[in-house]
Amino acid sequence: EADIYQTPRYLVIGTGKKITLECSQTMGHDKMYWYQQDPGMELHLIHYSYGVNSTEKGDLSSESTVSRIRTEHFPLTLESARPSHTSQYLCASSDPTGGRTEAFFGQGTRLTVV
Amino acid sequence: AQSVTQLGSHVSVSEGALVLLRCNYSSSVPPYLFWYVQYPNQGLQLLLKYTSAATLVKGINGFEAEFKKSETSFHLTKPSAHMSDAAEYFCAVSEGGGGNKLTFGTGTQLKVEL
Protein backbone atom coordinates (compact mmCIF):
# COMPACT_ATOMS: atom_id res chain seq x y z
CA GLU A 1 0.00 0.00 0.00
CA ALA A 2 2.75 2.43 0.96
CA ASP A 3 4.87 3.55 -1.97
CA ILE A 4 7.83 5.33 -0.51
CA TYR A 5 11.31 4.40 -1.56
CA GLN A 6 14.73 5.11 -0.17
CA THR A 7 18.06 4.58 -1.89
CA PRO A 8 20.58 3.33 -1.16
CA ARG A 9 19.56 0.84 1.53
CA TYR A 10 23.11 0.61 2.81
CA LEU A 11 26.01 2.99 2.34
CA VAL A 12 29.57 2.80 3.63
CA ILE A 13 31.55 5.90 2.82
CA GLY A 14 34.76 7.62 3.85
CA THR A 15 35.04 10.69 6.01
CA GLY A 16 34.75 13.97 4.15
CA LYS A 17 32.68 12.64 1.27
CA LYS A 18 29.51 14.33 0.13
CA ILE A 19 26.47 12.07 0.16
CA THR A 20 22.85 12.33 -0.83
CA LEU A 21 20.19 10.00 0.48
CA GLU A 22 17.25 9.69 -1.84
CA CYS A 23 13.59 9.49 -0.86
CA SER A 24 10.68 9.34 -3.25
CA GLN A 25 6.98 8.70 -2.82
CA THR A 26 4.31 8.06 -5.41
CA MET A 27 1.32 8.83 -3.22
CA GLY A 28 1.21 12.57 -3.91
CA HIS A 29 1.67 13.39 -0.22
CA ASP A 30 2.48 17.00 0.61
CA LYS A 31 4.09 16.25 3.96
CA MET A 32 7.43 14.48 4.12
CA TYR A 33 9.85 13.83 6.95
CA TRP A 34 13.35 12.59 7.73
CA TYR A 35 14.00 10.75 10.97
CA GLN A 36 17.34 9.62 12.38
CA GLN A 37 17.53 6.40 14.35
CA ASP A 38 20.61 5.29 16.25
CA PRO A 39 20.86 1.58 17.20
CA GLY A 40 18.47 0.72 20.01
CA MET A 41 17.19 4.27 20.20
CA GLU A 42 14.04 6.12 19.33
CA LEU A 43 13.53 8.00 16.10
CA HIS A 44 14.24 11.70 16.11
CA LEU A 45 12.82 14.12 13.56
CA ILE A 46 15.60 16.00 11.78
CA HIS A 47 13.80 17.61 8.82
CA TYR A 48 10.31 18.00 7.49
CA SER A 49 8.49 19.57 4.58
CA TYR A 50 4.86 20.51 4.15
CA GLY A 51 5.11 21.01 0.41
CA VAL A 52 7.24 22.11 -2.51
CA ASN A 53 9.86 24.72 -1.54
CA SER A 54 9.02 24.24 2.13
CA THR A 55 11.63 22.76 4.48
CA GLU A 56 12.03 23.02 8.24
CA LYS A 57 14.45 21.68 10.80
CA GLY A 58 13.16 19.10 13.19
CA ASP A 59 13.60 18.52 16.90
CA LEU A 60 17.07 17.01 16.63
CA SER A 61 19.82 19.24 15.31
CA SER A 62 21.46 17.83 12.21
CA GLU A 63 24.27 18.94 9.92
CA SER A 64 22.37 17.55 6.97
CA THR A 65 20.29 19.63 4.58
CA VAL A 66 17.20 18.82 2.55
CA SER A 67 15.40 20.17 -0.48
CA ARG A 68 11.87 19.84 -1.85
CA ILE A 69 11.75 20.86 -5.47
CA ARG A 70 9.16 18.27 -6.44
CA THR A 71 6.30 16.89 -4.40
CA GLU A 72 7.46 13.31 -4.75
CA HIS A 73 11.14 13.83 -3.98
CA PHE A 74 12.80 14.78 -0.65
CA PRO A 75 16.56 14.15 -0.72
CA LEU A 76 18.87 14.58 2.26
CA THR A 77 22.46 15.75 1.78
CA LEU A 78 25.54 15.67 3.95
CA GLU A 79 28.24 17.94 2.50
CA SER A 80 31.07 16.30 4.43
CA ALA A 81 30.33 13.01 6.10
CA ARG A 82 31.79 12.24 9.53
CA PRO A 83 31.75 9.10 11.69
CA SER A 84 29.25 10.85 13.98
CA HIS A 85 26.78 10.76 11.08
CA THR A 86 26.70 6.97 11.20
CA SER A 87 23.06 6.07 11.77
CA GLN A 88 19.90 4.85 10.12
CA TYR A 89 17.90 7.47 8.25
CA LEU A 90 14.19 6.92 7.70
CA CYS A 91 12.03 8.90 5.32
CA ALA A 92 8.27 9.19 5.76
CA SER A 93 5.31 10.91 4.17
CA SER A 94 1.74 11.65 5.18
CA ASP A 95 -1.44 13.21 3.90
CA PRO A 96 -4.09 14.03 6.51
CA THR A 97 -6.78 14.73 3.94
CA GLY A 98 -9.40 12.05 3.62
CA GLY A 99 -8.99 11.07 7.23
CA ARG A 100 -5.63 9.35 6.83
CA THR A 101 -3.63 10.25 9.91
CA GLU A 102 -0.63 7.95 9.79
CA ALA A 103 2.80 8.42 8.30
CA PHE A 104 4.17 5.92 5.81
CA PHE A 105 7.82 4.99 6.11
CA GLY A 106 10.46 3.90 3.65
CA GLN A 107 12.76 1.00 4.44
CA GLY A 108 15.54 3.27 5.58
CA THR A 109 19.16 3.94 4.64
CA ARG A 110 21.79 2.60 6.96
CA LEU A 111 24.78 4.94 6.70
CA THR A 112 28.23 4.06 7.97
CA VAL A 113 30.98 6.66 7.78
CA VAL A 114 34.48 5.26 8.20
CA ALA B 1 5.12 19.69 24.09
CA GLN B 2 4.44 16.02 23.63
CA SER B 3 6.34 12.98 24.83
CA VAL B 4 6.06 9.22 24.92
CA THR B 5 7.33 6.78 27.52
CA GLN B 6 7.62 3.08 26.80
CA LEU B 7 8.25 1.01 29.92
CA GLY B 8 10.55 -1.91 29.32
CA SER B 9 13.09 -1.73 26.54
CA HIS B 10 13.04 -5.53 26.29
CA VAL B 11 10.07 -7.82 26.80
CA SER B 12 10.25 -11.59 26.53
CA VAL B 13 7.20 -13.87 26.29
CA SER B 14 6.59 -17.50 25.48
CA GLU B 15 4.87 -18.42 22.27
CA GLY B 16 1.12 -18.46 22.90
CA ALA B 17 1.35 -16.13 25.89
CA LEU B 18 -0.19 -12.68 26.25
CA VAL B 19 1.81 -9.79 24.86
CA LEU B 20 1.59 -6.47 26.74
CA LEU B 21 3.72 -3.52 25.68
CA ARG B 22 3.25 -0.35 27.69
CA CYS B 23 3.02 3.20 26.41
CA ASN B 24 2.25 6.40 28.28
CA TYR B 25 2.07 9.78 26.64
CA SER B 26 1.85 13.43 27.46
CA SER B 27 0.21 15.95 25.21
CA SER B 28 -1.21 19.42 25.62
CA VAL B 29 -3.99 18.70 23.13
CA PRO B 30 -6.06 15.61 22.34
CA PRO B 31 -3.52 13.26 20.87
CA TYR B 32 -3.32 11.01 17.89
CA LEU B 33 -1.54 7.82 18.97
CA PHE B 34 0.15 5.15 16.93
CA TRP B 35 1.94 1.86 17.32
CA TYR B 36 4.52 0.96 14.69
CA VAL B 37 6.51 -2.25 14.30
CA GLN B 38 10.03 -2.48 12.91
CA TYR B 39 11.62 -5.71 11.74
CA PRO B 40 15.42 -5.91 11.45
CA ASN B 41 16.82 -3.66 8.75
CA GLN B 42 13.37 -2.50 7.75
CA GLY B 43 11.33 0.67 7.97
CA LEU B 44 8.34 1.15 10.24
CA GLN B 45 4.99 -0.47 9.58
CA LEU B 46 1.81 0.85 11.13
CA LEU B 47 0.14 -1.61 13.49
CA LEU B 48 -2.76 0.55 14.62
CA LYS B 49 -3.79 4.10 15.40
CA TYR B 50 -6.08 6.04 17.75
CA THR B 51 -7.70 9.15 16.32
CA SER B 52 -10.41 10.06 18.87
CA ALA B 53 -12.95 7.54 17.67
CA ALA B 54 -13.28 4.21 19.49
CA THR B 55 -11.02 3.88 22.51
CA LEU B 56 -10.31 0.22 21.77
CA VAL B 57 -8.42 0.02 18.52
CA LYS B 58 -7.80 -3.14 16.57
CA GLY B 59 -4.84 -3.42 14.27
CA ILE B 60 -3.08 -5.86 12.05
CA ASN B 61 -1.68 -9.25 13.05
CA GLY B 62 -4.09 -9.60 15.98
CA PHE B 63 -2.82 -6.62 17.95
CA GLU B 64 -5.04 -4.13 19.70
CA ALA B 65 -4.61 -1.14 21.98
CA GLU B 66 -6.83 0.75 24.39
CA PHE B 67 -6.74 4.50 24.81
CA LYS B 68 -7.21 5.48 28.47
CA LYS B 69 -7.32 9.22 28.88
CA SER B 70 -7.38 9.10 32.68
CA GLU B 71 -4.18 7.09 32.70
CA THR B 72 -2.64 8.79 29.63
CA SER B 73 -1.91 5.32 28.35
CA PHE B 74 -2.10 3.45 25.08
CA HIS B 75 -0.86 -0.06 25.84
CA LEU B 76 -0.51 -2.62 23.06
CA THR B 77 -1.74 -6.18 23.56
CA LYS B 78 -2.04 -9.44 21.72
CA PRO B 79 -3.74 -12.47 23.30
CA SER B 80 -1.35 -15.06 21.93
CA ALA B 81 2.21 -14.36 20.83
CA HIS B 82 3.64 -15.90 17.70
CA MET B 83 7.29 -16.29 16.80
CA SER B 84 6.79 -13.88 13.91
CA ASP B 85 5.87 -11.12 16.38
CA ALA B 86 9.50 -10.78 17.44
CA ALA B 87 10.43 -7.23 16.45
CA GLU B 88 10.89 -3.69 17.77
CA TYR B 89 7.70 -1.83 18.65
CA PHE B 90 7.41 1.94 18.79
CA CYS B 91 4.65 4.02 20.30
CA ALA B 92 4.25 7.51 18.84
CA VAL B 93 2.14 10.60 19.42
CA SER B 94 1.10 13.37 17.09
CA GLU B 95 -0.49 16.63 18.13
CA GLY B 96 -2.68 19.02 16.26
CA GLY B 97 -4.40 16.60 13.97
CA GLY B 98 -3.34 13.71 11.92
CA GLY B 99 -0.46 13.46 9.56
CA ASN B 100 1.77 15.78 11.51
CA LYS B 101 5.16 15.32 13.12
CA LEU B 102 5.54 12.25 15.27
CA THR B 103 7.25 11.97 18.63
CA PHE B 104 8.41 8.43 19.31
CA GLY B 105 9.08 6.43 22.41
CA THR B 106 12.38 4.62 22.85
CA GLY B 107 10.95 1.36 21.58
CA THR B 108 10.41 -2.08 23.07
CA GLN B 109 12.19 -5.13 21.70
CA LEU B 110 9.83 -8.09 21.85
CA LYS B 111 11.35 -11.55 22.05
CA VAL B 112 9.18 -14.62 21.63
CA GLU B 113 10.49 -17.89 22.99
CA LEU B 114 9.39 -21.43 22.33
Residue ranges of the alpha helices (H) in chain B? none
| Binary contact (B42, A107; C-beta < 8 A) | yes
Give the phi and the psi of residue A20 in degrees, each rounded to 5.
-130, 125
A34 in contact with chain B, both atoms CB, cutoff 8 A:
no
Give the tens place of pLDDT for each residue, A22-53: 999 999 999 999 999 987 788 999 999 999 99
Task: Check: CB of residue B110 under 8 Å from CB of residue B13.
Answer: yes
Give the tens place of pLDDT for each residue, A73-101: 999 999 999 999 999 999 999 987 766 67
Task: Check: CB of residue A69 under 8 Å from CB of residue B5.
Answer: no
**Omega of the bond leading into A8 within 30 degrees of 0 (cis):** yes
| Binary contact (A31, B36; C-beta < 8 A) | no
Is the pLDDT confidence value at B54 over 90? no
Count of beta carbons in the 10 Å neighbourhood of residue B94: 24
How far is Cα B44 from Cα B90, in angstroms, rounded to an integer? 9
* Mutation choice for B interface testing from A90, A93, A102, A111 by most B CBs within 10 A: A102
